[in-house]
Amino acid sequence: MDLTIRPITHEELPRYHRAMEGAFGMQARDEELEHMRRTTVLDRALGAFDGTSLIGTAEVWPFRLTTPGAEIALAGVTGVGVLPTHRRRGVLTALMRRQLDDVRGLGEPMAGLFASEGSIYGRFGYGVAAYAGRLEVDRDRARFASEVEDPGRVVLVERDEALKTMPEVYERLRGHRVGFVDRSERVWLDNYFDPEWGFRQGGGALFFALHEAHGVDGYVSYRIKRDWSEGVPGATVLVEELMAENLSAYAALWRFCFGIDLTSRTTAWGRPVDEPLLLMVTEPRRLKFRVGDGLYLRMLDVPASLAGRRYATEGRLVFEVSDPFCPWVEGRYELTGGPDGADCAPTDAEADVRLSVVELSAAYLGGVGFRALHRAGRVDEDSPGALARADAMFATDPAPWCPFVF
């Protein structure tokens, strides 16, 4: 194999996207290629070439990640794939090597992704920093324990109107929810590109509903998967995204989803692990709520990352970090931080906590505790009480949540 990793050219875009789709077992259509041409960040799209054959892909979308009390630049890794003819030959490792080197060169302190398979990315330094929930509830079991007064109303709107309004709601929420990333117009268009042959899970085209109360304060996008088995209506409401700025909008939008006629169940995925709905219904078990991995993070600059957030309590910690894949990350770092800010720098002081970059990245947003990682055999405590101090400093509420899968 004559392997070369380099950014693709504009003329190579069709080949690039066919290779990306082929890696995931799909066939790229001409309409999809045209859409991807508009949304690809060309100078951040890497191709793996065997001679002149394009056999692997990896792309970065630049984001701003909401951290506790602040935000930080995030390289959003997406579109990573290798054709089945070239797997298990080091192509993915070469792509990750070049991509992380490029991210470091651009001064982005952290990378993030959603993994197609969780076992892939730990060896490249990624750890699960935010988990995600999935629910499926039968309509006749979706009963609320108490009424939530709603001063507003839910209205259905067309896609164009929704895409003018939903970003405003999302942006107001983004500054207050750890784990959110900003979404440019390009990202919104990509996320709601909804062709008939796309990822519809057997459902129809998207519907959009807004909650209005002195302005729009919530929205839901959903589709209907029809089912008329034996002439009996039993369709499923597939919730794509539900966002609300307050309790009344949140409750009203879920009630709306549960109350759509001719349906028998509602499903949703990519939900926060501390979903309030679990505490609002009479039978939380009926939600069939399941938790899985969500956003993975990977530090490339420990001082910039740790100084790029605020901390729940004042404290000082020295981390000794190992990183076989990116050795420049390895070292000891002294963090001094609190609610008003933080400083972090390399140090020769004795370590309080020893861990790899995977665990430090996983704990970064506060969704994974240091003591929990210690109980799992993944973190060492060299200074008594250091793990409890770290958990107190890194704590966040509500739990980290990244609702946009990139």
The pLDDT tens digits for 53-111 are 999 999 999 999 999 999 999 999 999 999 999 999 999 999 999 999 999 999 999 99
Element (H, E) at 32: helix 30-39
Structure pTM? Answer: 0.94
In this prediction, residue 161 carries a pLDDT of: 96
Q: Does 233 sit behind a cis peptide bond, omega within 30 degrees of 0 on the bond before it?
A: no
- Give the separation between CA 401 and CA 179, rounded to whole angstroms: 5
pLDDT of residue 28: 76
Give the CA distances from residue 202 to residues 21, 135, 234, 319, in Å, rounded to whole numbers and listed in that order: 19, 17, 14, 48
pLDDT at 26: 85
Q: Let me know: does 349 contact 332? Beta carbons within 8 Å.
A: yes
Inform me whether the pLDDT recorded for 39 exceeds 90: no
* Average predicted confidence (pLDDT) for the chain: 95
Place of tokens 């002294």: 334
Residue in 295, 243, 339 with CA at minimum distance from that of residue 115: 295
> Residue 123's pLDDT band (boundaries 50, 70, 90)?
very high
Written as six digits, the tokens of 41 are 């960040």
Q: What is the pLDDT of residues 389-405, one digit of tens each?
A: 999 999 999 999 999 99
Classified as helix, coil or strand, 93 is helix
Read off the pLDDT of residues 171-229 as tens digits, 9 standing for 90 and up. 999 999 999 999 999 899 888 988 776 678 889 999 999 999 999 999 999 999 999 99
List the 127-138 sheet strands across, edge first.
3-7, 45-50, 53-67, 70-82, 110-114, 290-299, 127-138, 263-271, 235-244, 216-225, 207-212, 153-157
The span from the first CA to the last CA of the chain, in angstroms, equals 31
Task: Examine the pLDDT at 31 and tell me if it is beyond 80.
Answer: no
Q: Return the pLDDT at 35.
A: 80
Architecture label for domain 3-108: 3-Layer(aba) Sandwich (3.40)
* Pairwise CA distance, residues 317 & 94, whole Å: 34
Helix (H, G, I), strand (E, B) or coil at 18: helix
Domains 3-108 and 144-280 equal at CATH topology level: yes
pLDDT in tens, 318-355: 999 999 999 999 999 999 999 999 999 999 999 999 99
- Residues forming the active site: 121, 406
Dist. CA 61–CA 49, nearest whole Å = 21
In this predicted structure, the answer to whether residue 32 has a pLDDT above a threshold of 90 is no
Here the contacts of 369-374 (C-beta below 8 Å, separation 24 or greater) are: 369/394, 370/394
Identify residue 75 by its one-letter amino acid code: A
Residues 221-273: tens digit of each pLDDT: 999 999 999 899 999 999 999 999 999 999 999 999 999 999 999 999 999 99
In the predicted model, is pLDDT for residue 313 greater than 90?
yes
CA distance 327 to 321: 10
| pLDDT range class, residue 27, cuts 50, 70, 90 | confident
Confidence of residue 376 (pLDDT cuts 50, 70, 90): very high
Domain ranges of the chain: 3-108, 144-280, 301-355+362-394
301-355+362-394, CATH topology level: Nonspecific Lipid-transfer Protein; Chain A (3.30.1050)
- C-alpha–C-alpha distance, residues 277 and 164, integer Å: 27
CA distance 241 to 149: 23
Please give the Cα distance from 330 to 351 (Å, whole number).
13
**pLDDT tens, position by position, 40-52:** 889 999 999 999 9
**Domain 144-280 class, CATH top level:** alpha beta
The residue-averaged pLDDT of 24-35 equals 81
| Predicted confidence band of residue 6 (pLDDT cuts 50, 70, 90) | very high
